[in-house]
Structure 1
Amino acid sequence: MRRAFLYLSEPETIMAQRRRVVVTGMGALTPIGLNVPDFWEALLQGKSGAAPITRFDPTPFDTHFACELKGFDPLDYMDRKTARRLDPFAQYALVATDEALRDAGLDPEKLAASEKDRIGVVFGSGIGGMQVFQEQTAQYLQRGARFISPLFIPMLIPDISAGHLAIRYGFRGPNYAVVSACATANHNLGDAFLLIQRGMADVVLCGGSEAPITEMALGGFNAMKALSTRNDDPARASRPFDATRDGFVMGEGAGALVLEELEHARRRGARIYAEVLGIGMSADAHHITAPDPEGEGAALAMQALLRDANLRPEDVDYINMHGTSTPLGDVAETKAIKRVFGEHAYRMNVSSTKSMTGHLLGAAGAVEAIATILAIVHQTVPPTINFEHPDPECDLNYTFNAPQQRPVRVAINNAFGFGGHNTAVAFGRYEE
């Protein structure tokens, strides 16, 4: 007897089986705003989050600045005991997630047990507990092995935010973290999308968080020559696509999204920000840190996305680029976009919000997904700031220095990571 799955060979049949997935809640903790409304307003104002590092003395290092969270105190959001048991990256995850759930109108205390069984958490970090790792290593070197904290490992591991969130809210659906460097949050978002599509959950809380602004992370990235050293002008250091760009600016924070099956969202009268249309993933298979110089891996991810979402290149109005402000990365991504979109690459808007937030590493994909969704909601493309000097290899419409109002029905968020990990997610304006 032939099994049912053998009949799912035609692409249109597979598409018909898919459940539609929408975004119903968002939360953001960023260097330019500690919630989604403030973050969006700062993007439209072209506000830079880069400034001299205040957390430690950076003078021994080549780079003296970063995009730190400003005005953030964990005790404004949680009790002292909880804060002490969480590395900052996990604190950030809880804060962003609380906002996203409130925004979605989901109160865990009012949900039935059967409903919580169908809510998952897919939430990651590119690095994990960098601060606790540094502190506990110093403790060992200064005082010995007996003084290592029993909470060291639980505070360190990148998946722990997903565990804490499930415990905090009682969500018993799929629970894990994807870790793929700076593509982490986009991969987590993509997995959340697939879980709902396939019926393994009705709601998935997803995103990424990162707290890398420590001596060891700064020193490590400096050793790689990855960071900007524009110490005399930090606010203008992150300058994607500018000919004088000299590296990325490290940032910290978190982004959280509530993804929900469409009919589930409609039954409870949820506000729908946008629909998740599809995902694309690939590998460069080229180098552990440098992108493929022709952008072949990035192009593969975007091509896979267009197929998955059943989109034509000309359907896309805006791309929030990975755009890290590195000499190689910006050119490679530009080439990839031109390879995939042809002449249409010059008709749509692209931009890099990292020019304002800095690079949030494992949180970048989620924070930038929120910016991409809000571009659809407000029909406004956020800018790439700090542009001064044209680069002949970067010749697209990067929305330099000021936001642009335009129709945005479909938008893509790109995120790439060390190791050659490439991701692209498409969002569309929700229609019945």
Structure 2
Amino acid sequence: MSFIADKQTLEDMNLLGKYKQHSIFSLFNKVRTSGGEQLLTKMFQTPLIDPDAINTRSDTFKYFQSKQVTFPFSNEQFSAMENYLSGSSGTNYPVIFINLAKKKLLAIIVRDEEYPKVQVGLQQTITVLKQCKTFISQFEADNRHEHPFYNELLTVKNILNNPKLGWLTEEQNDSNQYSLKKAAKYDHVLRHKMQQALQTVIEIFYQLDVFITVANLAKEKEFSYAKAFPKETHYLTASALKHPNIPKAIANPVSLSQGSNMIFLTGANMAGKSTFMKAFGINIYLAHMGFPVAASHMEFSVKQGIYSSINVPDNLVMGYSHFYAEVLRVKKVAAEVSSGKDLVVIFDELFKGTNVKDAYDATLAVTAAFSEYRNCLFIISTHIIEAGEVLKRQSNIQSLYLPTIMNGIIPTYTYQLQPGISSDRHGMMIIENEGILKMLE
């Protein structure tokens, strides 16, 4: 079973997408190799639900952050080695020697490029493997019990110290090309005898690319690592939680539990409700990946997934109005919640596509019904503050708001959560400040 986050949720949070502007993936995608990028993509697509696996991955990031190392290779270097190792000149030394001899002869007679390509690929591969050996040697002194990546690095060390590669350290290659005899010998070892083992080395170095790069980003951004607990504990607490992709974002504390499993959020337009909810959802998602989070401290019980309803579009092709699209979204989430799944649910301004009376009745009824599922955590925002006055009587619903401070007739915003329900109604004031009515006189 894997962590659930559907297309709507991923788009609401802007989580995925290499080329999507300000996506969370692009924030972390500073890796140097294409294999590292593929691994990073997979991690983003498959958050974890096992607390031990989450904590182990977080510990690995923390370990490399403490080492303050830089991944020493470029994509070109690793691609050249992969391309070379994926080819073959034969399965045994005599065949390889004969094939390379033919290619060398063709290179001399008709300037065929195959033999020079083998020489270049061989040289590049030997250079990278020697550098790999040097790079991992800096971690050898670390105790295996304090070293979450110990087994992987030991695997690399054992492969590169294999007697079949005993010549690797001594080989200097001061000349432009290896002799035909050496080229055949090295090619046989690298592309036949040790090919699968060296592919393991490459894959582990792709992991190193991700772990080192993300760890360095966490240090630069002053992110921390969330601690995962079994789902039965049903709680989440975070200090100074903020949006990871907003410079100088305002931080807020969040605390939810089985006895207080819902935040009912109010505040004026532009007060920061949607940004806070996205920040919450993004950090929940990153925490389940075992990735660094934009908070000073965070602990959480693992959930099975997250659903949001923030930017629900209408569907003209299907003939759905905005309100009906909202209703269908709530219906989908209700089906998931009522099935018994442990979920995080984020609804921004429920039923804003209908009249005030229906919005009030629907918000009140749906919010109260959802809150009874104590195994789930909810944040629900609304402008229907009258519903909040009724819901605050329930002990498991926290009423929080984001305030507006008026400087004369100009509204300003603190983006800091406060207990209670907002009474701010500044819509007409903003319209008047913009001079819209005067334009229409």
**How does the TM-score come out when normalised to structure 1?**
0.23
The structure in which a higher percent of residues are helix is 2
Larger Rg: 2
TM-score by length of 2: 0.23
State the structure with bigger RCO (CA 8 A, min sep 6), 1 or 2.
1
